[in-house]
Amino acid sequence: MYGFLKIEINSIGFKLLQKEKKLHQKQKVKKR
């Protein structure tokens, strides 16, 4: 049960990181 929860949190965190990276890329393009 705990291990499953940990995997769920990690997957959510990974998705958030990907979103942040995409946002940063968009901001860099806007600056240029």
1-32 pLDDT, tens digit per residue, is: 678 888 898 999 999 999 999 988 888 877 76
The pLDDT assigned to 28 comes to 80
Q: What does the alpha-carbon distance between residue 10 and residue 32 come to, in Å, rounded to a whole number?
A: 33
Q: What does the alpha-carbon distance between residue 14 and residue 21 come to, in Å, rounded to a whole number?
A: 11
5: left (phi over 0), alpha (psi -120 to 50) or beta: alpha
- Its domain, for residue 21, covers 1-32
pTM for the full predicted model: 0.56
User: Count of domains in the chain?
Assistant: 1
